[in-house]
C-alpha cells in the first residue's frame, strides 16, 4: 500500500502551465526555471515516484521529450553539453511553444481518463486514531523499549491489523490483532515455562490454562500476571472463539475496541518479557512445558487458531 500525495498533481499542472505564463514576457531567460521544474516533475511521474502512470505514460513521455528538446536548444551547448551563457533578450520561438501546448493538452486528457478509473479512496478517521498512523505506524503504539521485546512477526501482524482497521475491515483487523496477540503470547509463556516441546501443545487454550496454573503458584516469586490471564480469557471468549465460526464477523467499532485491548495486553506481556530472565531449571537448562500442571485436552482443537491459516 502506498500513500498518494494528491498535491503533486496540482503541482504538475501548475509547473506545466507556468511555461506559457512565462512566454508573456517573450524572453528565453525567463523560461529556464519553468522548463527545469516541468522536466523534473514529469520525469518523477513517468518513473512512478508519486503515481505509476499507465495509459497516459506515452503522452507524458512525448511531452517530456519535447520540453527537454526545447531546454537543450536554448540552454545547453551541443559541443560541451554545458549550460550556455545567458541568451539576453532573445525571444522564444512561438511555434515550438504551440507544439508543447498541444502536447500538454493531450497529456492532460489522457491523465484525466486514467485518474477517473484509478481506485483512489478516502479513509476516514477511526475513532480517536489517525488514519495515517493506523495505516502506516500502528506498531508505534508500543514504546520503542517495548518493541525490542515484541517479536517482529507480532509487530507485523499488529501493523496489518491497523491498516485493515483504517479501511473499515473490522473482521480482518480483528484476525490480524489476534494473530499478533498469539505470537506474543508464545514468547510470554516461554519466559515462564520454557520452550514448548511439541507442536500439538502450541495453542491458545493450552497457553492460557497453564499460565493460569502458574499464576496461582504462591511459592514462586516470578509468576504470570493475573491481569494478563484475565485479559487473555476475555479475548478468547469474546473475540477469538466466535471468529472460528464463519457466521460471525467483527464490526469496525468492535475492532477498534480490540485494538486498544490488544495494545494494552501485548504491552503488559512485553514488559514482563523485557524485565525478567528466561525460565531455567537448577542445572541451567530450559524446562519443558510438560513440567507445568497437566491439562485436559477438551476443546483444545477448537481453540487452536493456527497462524498459517488465518488471513
How would DSSP label each residue in 227-238?
HHHHHHHHHIII
287 SS3 class: coil
Query: Residue range 57-62: average pLDDT?
Result: 95
pLDDT at position 26? 65
Q: Is residue 125 part of a domain?
A: no
Task: Indicate the pLDDT class of residue 86, thresholds 50, 70 and 90.
Answer: low
One domain for residues 269 and 155: yes
Instruction: Determine, yes or no, domain membership for 173.
Output: yes
> Is residue 99 situated within a structural domain?
yes
Q: Is there a single domain that holds both residue 99 and residue 143?
A: no
The better pLDDT of the pair 256, 193 is held by: 256
Is residue 93 included in any domain, yes or no?
yes
Range name among 94-108, 202-216, 217-231, 296-310 with the lowest pLDDT average: 296-310
Q: Where are the alpha helices (DSSP H) in the chain?
A: 7-22, 32-47, 57-75, 94-117, 131-137, 144-147, 152-166, 170-193, 204-215, 226-235, 241-243, 252-275, 300-303
Judge whether 182 and 310 are in contact, CB under 8 Å. no
Q: Are residues 195 and 111 part of one domain?
A: no
Percent of the chain with pLDDT over 90: 41
What is d(CA 168, CA 119) in angstroms, rounded to the nearest whole number?
A: 16
Across 258-271, average pLDDT = 94
Together in a domain, 178 and 226: yes
In a domain, 66, yes or no: yes
> How far apart are the C-alpha atoms of 311 and 297, rounded to whole Å?
26
Residue 282 has pLDDT above 80, yes or no: no
Domain end position, chosen among 117, 144, 172: 117
> Range with the lowest mean pLDDT among 105-109, 147-151, 218-222?
218-222
Confidence class for position 169, pLDDT limits 50, 70, 90:
very high
Residues 91 and 231 both lie in one domain? no
User: Is residue 124 situated within a structural domain?
Assistant: no
Q: Which residues lie closer than 8 Å to 112 by C-beta, 6 or more apart?
A: none
- Distance CA(139)–CA(267), nearest Å, equals 11
Residue 194 and residue 158 in one domain: yes
Both 254 and 141 in one domain: the answer is yes
Same domain, 233 and 278: yes
Domain that holds residue 292: 131-309
pTM comes to 0.65
15 and 144: one domain? Answer: no
Shared domain check, 97 and 24: yes
For residues 40 and 171, state if they share a domain: no
Number of structural domains in the chain:
2
The reply to whether 99 and 15 lie within a common domain is yes
Confidence band for 102, pLDDT divided at 50, 70 and 90: very high
Q: Which of 89, 117, 145 is the endpoint of a domain?
A: 117
Taking the C-alpha atoms of residue 19 and residue 130, their distance in angstroms, rounded to an integer, is 39
As a whole number, mean pLDDT of residues 83-89 equals: 73
Domain boundary among 117, 139, 159: 117
Q: Tell me the pLDDT tens digit for each residue of 72-83.
A: 988 888 888 888
| 22 band by pLDDT with thresholds 50, 70 and 90 | low
Which pLDDT value is given to residue 79?
A: 83
Per-residue pLDDT at 160? 94
The set of cell numbers assigned to 201 is 501443545
- Taking each helix axis from N to C end, the angle separating 7-22 and 32-47, rounded to the nearest 10 degrees, works out to 150
Per-residue pLDDT band for 298 (boundaries 50, 70, 90) equals very low
Amino acid at each position: 500500500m502506498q500513500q498518494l500525495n494528491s498535491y503533486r498533481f496540482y503541482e504538475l499542472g501548475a509547473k506545466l502551465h507556468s511555461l506559457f505564463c512565462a512566454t508573456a514576457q517573450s524572453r528565453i531567460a525567463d523560461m529556464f526555471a519553468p522548463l527545469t521544474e516541468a522536466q523534473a516533475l514529469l520525469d518523477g511521474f513517468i518513473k512512478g515516484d508519486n503515481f505509476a502512470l499507465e495509459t497516459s505514460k506515452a503522452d507524458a513521455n512525448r511531452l517530456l521529450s519535447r520540453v527537454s528538446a526545447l531546454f537543450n536548444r536554448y540552454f545547453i551547448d551541443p559541443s560541451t553539453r554545458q549550460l550556455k551563457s545567458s541568451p539576453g533578450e532573445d525571444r522564444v520561438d512561438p511555434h515550438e511553444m504551440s507544439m508543447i501546448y498541444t502536447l500538454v493538452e493531450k497529456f492532460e486528457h489522457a491523465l484525466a481518463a486514467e485518474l477517473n478509473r484509478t481506485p483512489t479512496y478516502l479513509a476516514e478517521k477511526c475513532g480517536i486514531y489517525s488514519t495515517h498512523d493506523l495505516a502506516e505506524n500502528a506498531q508505534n503504539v508500543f514504546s520503542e523499549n517495548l518493541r525490542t521485546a515484541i517479536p517482529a512477526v507480532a509487530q507485523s501482524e499488529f501493523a496489518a491489523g491497523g491498516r485493515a482497521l483504517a479501511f473499515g475491515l473490522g473482521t480482518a483487523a480483528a484476525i490480524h490483532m489476534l494473530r499478533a496477540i498469539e505470537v506474543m503470547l508464545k514468547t510470554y509463556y516461554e519466559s515462564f515455562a520454557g520452550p514448548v516441546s511439541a507442536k500439538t501443545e502450541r495453542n491458545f487454550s493450552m497457553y492460557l490454562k497453564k499460565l493460569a496454573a502458574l499464576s496461582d503458584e504462591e511459592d514462586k516469586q516470578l509468576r504470570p500476571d493475573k491481569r494478563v490471564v484475565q485479559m487473555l480469557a476475555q479475548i478468547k471468549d469474546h473475540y477469538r472463539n466466535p471468529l472460528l465460526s464463519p457466521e460471525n464477523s467483527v464490526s469496525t467499532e468492535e475492532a477498534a475496541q480490540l485494538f486498544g485491548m490488544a495494545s494494552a495486553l501485548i504491552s503488559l506481556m512485553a514488559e514482563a518479557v523485557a524485565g525478567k530472565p528466561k525460565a531455567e531449571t537448577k542445572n541451567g537448562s530450559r524446562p519443558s512445558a510438560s513440567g507445568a500442571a497437566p491439562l485436559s485436552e477438551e476443546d483444545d482443537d477448537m481453540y487452536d487458531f493456527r497462524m498459517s491459516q488465518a488471513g
